[in-house]
Amino acid sequence: MINLPSTFKISLRALRVNKMRSALTMLGIIIGVSAVIIMLAVGAGASKKISEQISSMGSNLLMVFPGSTTAGGLRMGSGSQSTLTSSDAEAVKRECPTVEEVAPILNGSAQIVYGNQNWSTIVYGTTPPILYVRDWSLTAGRIFNDQEVKGASKVCLLGKTVVDNLFGDMDPLGKAIRIKKLPFTVIGVLAEKGQSLMGQDQDDTVYIPITTAQRKIFGREGSGITDTVRSILVKTKTTADLEPATGQITDLLRQRHRIGTNQEQDFTVRNLTQMMNVAEQSTQILTLLLAAIASVSMLVGGIGIMNIMLVSVTERTREIGIRMAVGAMSWDIRLQFIIEALTLSLIGGVTGIIIGFAAAKAVSTIAGWPTIVSPFSIFFAFGFSGLIGIFFGFYPAYKASLLNPIDALRYE
Amino acid sequence: MALIETDELCKIYDLGGSSVRALSGVSITIERGEFVAIMGPSGSGKSTFMNVLGCLDQPTTGRYLLDSIDVGGLSGDELALIRNEKLGFVFQGFNLLSRTSALENVELPMLYGNVPASERKRRALRALQSMGLDGWEKHHPNQLSGGQQQRVAIARALVNDVPLILADEPTGNLDTKTSSEIMELLVKLNLEAAITVVLVTHEADIAAFSRRIIKFLDGSIVSDVVVKKT
């Protein structure tokens, strides 16, 4: 015997009568819902950015760093000694079956000059496979070939940021620049990659053959060793190969560096892909945590609704009595108040979604953070506010339906 | 078959240790089409009796048959259904929903009787018309005079084509002239639509509109007199 459209009309009228009160009651839900929407949008945006950065880094990557060394009982920090060499890199490529490609790296900052422009950037000495290892491509020109690496040629590839700063709109190909006063010919331009996970501009870079870096740019004069590298980037065949490759590389390098079983090794192998994935996961966890906190304010909003509904039931005791006297059954009364609470929470929910959506867009445009309002978050916020309306509306509605019609009719 | 039949109705209120006997053994039969006035001083049990007749309250012991239905032991929702289909209330304080138009007030019993919207409106308008309230259907109770409000209440009471109207001091808040207008409307309904009317009143001149007067004292009937024949 329940007449939904009429019950809905009755509820709407009751809410209209107390416009201010209804609006204030909705406020809790509005704030909660918009907070949930914003949190999820910022989180989803951050996740997307991180996964873009992960793919810009290259996939299935391991990185080998020099480890700490002990000099006269004094333990130095990680990377304090250059213990890795180009031949280590070659050996890794040659002897580890799970390794697909390697790229040794020797980097450092250097001042570069073109004409009357100059710019400080990071110069990377490396080998041709670097492009494959880092899933990078060129927009113009070519990468140096093995001959040029062997001959320590003075050729270089420029990142987008360097091109912009030195050449502006000019075509840099074939031009001569100076790196640490030595003349280099620009033979290629790297595609734009954007920020790395650590916030570095990956396009602010110059690539030169590793031999050139070792002998002419960063080589230690008089040190005699000319094939040291700062790190070795390793790409494995599949993601599943990352773990076994770590073991294989460790074993190989321990052997090559003649490190005994109980001795501390002078290098570290890091699983970059895993690190990135952990970063992505922690962003997701953080997002969920923030959304959970925002949900708490929806819960508080729900308690506000319950509070107002209880007041409303008391105020309208006589009305309830009249309705009962003319034949309203318990569920008629219950539904009336539940629908009233539901209407409050859903109007609040929809308003909150609109505000949250607008705020997420504002965050994107003003703060420059990427935000994504997913259909899931809208659905979640709407559904959750509906559930809150029903949950917190039920008790007041139940209380109303338990009223004794005689007492309710006499209530002043 | 009698419309109302009660057999040894007792109502005992338990007031924290001491029990109060509001009704003690009330047996009465009211036929269809009767116009009955119930009189008695305050605390005589007439309101309790009306509550039981109106299916708002259940007797402690005794039997009550309304239109051959044994009301005893019915659930709250079953009682609500009986109130909806079998009787209409007219109260001293009108008890109309405020901020709700006369039309919607009259539609209320049909809302809970699941009458389709168009039918509700048609029947409510007809009921208001029969109460002489053409053109007042959009007005809210606070825009109507006391007499008009009571006429809206009567329209609401009879709109579901009920056989019984229970009026609890329907003229208590009205002046003498309006009182007799309301009473004449009830008499007219009783005579023309054959609706049984049971009313509670203090005033002898209001009771004089009825054809049977039942007097209560201390929870029992002390006199039951037919004052005029139909």
Q: For chain A, what is the domain count?
A: 2
Q: Which of A173, A201, A235 is the last residue of a domain?
A: A235
Residues A353 and A404 in one domain: yes
Residues A227 and A314 in one domain: no
Please give, rounded to a whole number of angstroms, the shortest distance from the CA of A331 to a CA of chain B.
9
Chain B interface, mutation test: which of A312, A318, A326, most B Cβ atoms within 10 Å?
A: A326
Of the partner residues A5, A319, A327, the one whose CB lies closest to the CB of residue B112: A327
Residue A137: CB atoms within 10 Å? 11
- What confidence score (pLDDT) does residue A1 get? 47
- What confidence score (pLDDT) does residue A292 get? 85
Sort residue B175 into left (φ over 0), alpha (ψ -120 to 50) or beta: beta
Percent of chain B, pLDDT > 70?
99
Chain A interface, mutation test: which of B100, B112, B118, B154, most A Cβ atoms within 10 Å?
A: B112
What is the 3-state composition of chain A as percent helix, strand, coil, each rounded to the nearest 5? 55, 20, 25
Round to whole Å and give the CA distance between A197 and A57.
Answer: 8
Q: Are B35 and B210 in contact (CB under 8 A)?
A: yes
Structure confidence by residue, pLDDT tens digits, A116-135 = 888 899 999 999 998 888 88
Residues A311 and A209 in one domain: no
Architecture of the domain spanning B34-59+73-226: 3-Layer(aba) Sandwich (3.40)
More confident residue, A230 or B28: B28
Q: Which of A178, A202, A235 is the last residue of a domain?
A: A235
Q: Which of A175, A210, A235 is the last residue of a domain?
A: A235
- What confidence score (pLDDT) does residue A76 get? 61
- A272 is a domain residue: no
User: In this predicted structure, which of A154-168, A272-286, B14-28, B130-144 has the lowest mean pLDDT?
Assistant: A272-286
B83 interface with A at CB cutoff 8 Å: yes
- HSE-CB at A201 with a 13 A cutoff on CA atoms is 12
- Name chain A contacts of B117, Cβ cutoff 8 Å: 5-6
Q: Which pairs from B209-214 meet CB under 8 Å and 24+ separation?
A: B209/B35, B209/B37, B209/B183, B209/B184, B210/B35, B210/B36, B210/B37, B211/B34, B211/B35, B211/B36, B212/B34, B212/B35, B212/B36, B212/B37, B213/B36, B213/B37, B213/B38, B213/B39, B214/B28, B214/B36, B214/B37, B214/B38, B214/B39
- What confidence score (pLDDT) does residue B64 get? 94
- What confidence score (pLDDT) does residue B190 get? 93
- Owning domain of residue A193: 100-235
Helix axes B117-130, B102-112, angle to 10 degrees: 130
Which residues of chain A are under the pLDDT cut of 50? 1
Q: How many Å is the maximal CA-CA distance in chain A?
A: 106
- A171 is a domain residue: yes
- Name chain B contacts of A329, Cβ cutoff 8 Å: 76-77, 80-81, 112
- What confidence score (pLDDT) does residue B206 get? 92
Structure confidence by residue, pLDDT tens digits, B78-115 = 999 999 999 999 999 899 998 889 999 999 999 888 88
Structure confidence by residue, pLDDT tens digits, B35-91 = 999 999 988 989 899 999 999 999 999 999 999 999 988 999 999 999 999 999 999
> Are B76 and A330 inside 8 Å of each other by CB?
yes
- A404 is a domain residue: yes
Residue B19 has pLDDT above 80, yes or no: yes
- Name chain A contacts of B84, Cβ cutoff 8 Å: 326-327
- What confidence score (pLDDT) does residue B198 get? 96
Average pLDDT, chain B: 92
> Are A17 and B99 inside 8 Å of each other by CB?
yes
Residue A144: CB atoms within 10 Å? 23
Of the partner residues B96, B97, B109, the one whose CB lies closest to the CB of residue A327: B109
Structure confidence by residue, pLDDT tens digits, A296-316 = 888 898 999 999 999 999 999
Domain limits of chain B?
34-59+73-226
- A324 is a domain residue: yes
Helix (H) or strand (E) holding A229: strand A228-229
- A270 is a domain residue: no
Chain A interface, mutation test: which of B55, B97, B162, most A Cβ atoms within 10 Å?
A: B97
- What confidence score (pLDDT) does residue A224 get? 55
- A289 is a domain residue: yes
Of the partner residues A1, A318, A406, the one whose CB lies closest to the CB of residue B112: A1
The CA-to-CA distance between both ends of chain B, in Å, stands at: 18
Residue A326: CB atoms within 10 Å? 27
Tokens of B116: 């389709």
Pairs of residues, one from chain A and one from chain B, whose beta carbons lie less than 8 Å apart: 66
> Are A327 and B84 inside 8 Å of each other by CB?
yes
B74 interface with A at CB cutoff 8 Å: no
Round to whole Å and give the CA distance between A320 and B21.
Answer: 28
Round to whole Å and give the CA distance between A63 and A233.
Answer: 5
Task: Enter the ipTM.
Answer: 0.94
- A258 is a domain residue: no
Residues A40 and A114 in one domain: no
* Buried-state track A231-246, b at ≥16 Cβ within 10 A, e below 16: bbbbbbeeeebbeebb
- A95 is a domain residue: no
Residues A208 and A315 in one domain: no
